[in-house]
Amino acid sequence: MSGPSGSAAEEANTLQRTDSGDRWYRLVLTIAVATVPALLLVLVWQLWRDAGPAIDRFGLGFILGSGWDPVLDEYGAGELLAGTFLTTLIAIVIAAPLAIAGAFWQEVFAPRILRRPLTALVDLLAAIPGVVYGLWGVLVMLPWCRAVLFPALQQRAGWFPGLDGIIYGPSLLAASLLLAVMMFPFVLVIARQVIHALPATQTDAALALGASRWEVTRHVLFPAARRALAGAVLLGAGRAVGEAIAVAMVIGASHGPVVSLLAPGYTLASVLPHEFAEATSAVQVAALSYATLLLLVIAVTTNAAARLLVGRGAADVGGRR
């Protein structure tokens, strides 16, 4: 730069004189932050390489293809995808309305003395690892489902598609129910933060005009939170899609077309704990890696959509309040 403005720029430069320590500081931080995108790159590249043989052999047809035959080395992810879709959908339909209604109750109606303990309890339920839910699912919930819930369900609603056939216990429905149990606290925690973060001015204005707490919830809080609440549900869905261990413990581990919700099945994520370590052929490992890649794409898309809706910050589970 030259001319009269040059001296001003120089002066600004001396004011922001950079210390050599600062250059090092920035360099170190840059390296730290750059590892994050680099890791994603390595992750995708590695999965792509592992899946290579299956991608070459089955192409895009793998995604919707059916059949999973380690003997003939023929694989398709269509049935896994169907299992993932069904279990996630049922879990959402059950858990999401309860979680959102529960979050409003906790934020708006709950008696003051109950708020802290209830919050602590829900937070704890959200923090219990999936494998612990899986253990409870397989040793407590499954026997009850087999003996009580499923027969009763079949008797009353056997006409409903998917509720016919033999009752096994381990099944797509059992996995869906367990996912719903896990999703409730997870979605509730986020939904509560969403509601909590809403500006108080409108609520106060409505209350001042004589609106009741329900009217405030219905006409002020809910419309303002709707978008972010949809995001909270999607975050839950992303969690459910990726839950491998708990689902693997109760789904019954069976390939094949979905004939009944009461029959054993599989999902994209839950096939991995059972088969990845025991895979016999290189093609099977590649097919499982291909399935992992698919799982990554679905989970990432769901989460990206959810974050667009929720906005950053509200999804910081456990962040400062």
Partner 1 sequence: MSRPVDRFWQGALGLAFIVGLVPGLLALWGVVTHGVTAFGTVQWGALLPAILGTVLLTLGACLMAVPLGIGAGLYLAEYPHTRLARLSRFVGDVLGGTPSIVFGVFVWGWLVTATGRFSGWAGSVALALVMLPLVMRVTESGVLAVPASLREAPLVLGWPRWRATLSVTLRAGLPGLSIALLVAIARVAGQAAPLLFTALGNPYLSADLGQPMAALPLTVFADGSAPGTAAQDRAWAAALLLVLIAALLGIAARAVARREEARDA
Site for partner 1, residues 88 to 147, rule: CB under 8 A? 95, 97-99, 101-102, 104-106, 108-110, 120-125, 127-141
CB of 276 to partner 1, least distance (A): 6
CA 77 to chain centre: 20
As a whole number of angstroms, the distance between CA 221 and CA 228 comes to: 11
By CB under 8 A, tell whether 205 contacts partner 1. no
Cβ proximity to partner 1, 35 vs 280, nearer residue: 35
- Binders of partner 1 among 238-257, rule CB under 8 A? 238, 241-245, 249
* Residues sharing a CB contact under 8 Å with residue 169, sequence separation 6 or more, in sequence order: 142, 143, 145, 146, 150, 252
SS3 279: coil
Cβ proximity to partner 1, 38 vs 259, nearer residue: 38
Q: Which of 2, 3, 14, 19 binds partner 1 (CB under 8 A)?
A: 19
CB of 2 to partner 1, least distance (A): 28
Q: Which stretch binds partner 1 (CB under 8 A): 4-12, 66-74, 225-233, 313-321?
A: 313-321
SS3 95: helix
Find, among 204, 215, 7, 185, the residue nearest to 96 by Cα. Answer: 185
| Tokens 């025991």, residue located | 278
CB of 93 to partner 1, least distance (A): 13
Long-range contacts of 132-139 (CB under 8 A, 24+ apart): 133/178, 133/181, 133/182, 133/246, 134/178, 134/245, 134/246, 134/247, 134/248, 134/249, 134/250, 135/249, 137/174, 137/178, 137/181, 137/246, 137/249, 137/250, 138/170, 138/249, 138/250
Find, among 290, 232, 262, the residue nearest to 57 by Cα. Answer: 290
Cβ distance 73 to 284 under 8 Å? yes
- Binders of partner 1 among 251-290, rule CB under 8 A? 269, 272-273, 276-277, 288-289
Q: Which of 7, 13, 46, 281 binds partner 1 (CB under 8 A)?
A: 46
CB of 44 to partner 1, least distance (A): 9
Between helices 222-242 and 78-104, what is the axis angle to 10°? Answer: 140
CB of 307 to partner 1, least distance (A): 6
Q: Which of 8, 9, 39, 93 binds partner 1 (CB under 8 A)?
A: 39
Cβ proximity to partner 1, 155 vs 312, nearer residue: 312
Residues in the chain: 321
Cβ proximity to partner 1, 87 vs 292, nearer residue: 292
Q: Which of 11, 89, 214, 311 binds partner 1 (CB under 8 A)?
A: 214
CB of 152 to partner 1, least distance (A): 16
CB of 60 to partner 1, least distance (A): 20
By CB under 8 A, tell whether 295 contacts partner 1. yes
10 Å Cβ neighbour count for 50?
A: 18
The DSSP string of 192-215 is: HHHHHTS-HHHHHHHHHTT--HHH
- Single-letter residue type at 178: L
- Binders of partner 1 among 156-185, rule CB under 8 A? 180-182, 184-185
In the chain, what is the greatest distance between 2 CA atoms, to the nearest angstrom? 90
CB of 201 to partner 1, least distance (A): 21
- Contact characters 56-85, partner 1, x per CB under 8 A: ------------------------------
CB of 280 to partner 1, least distance (A): 15
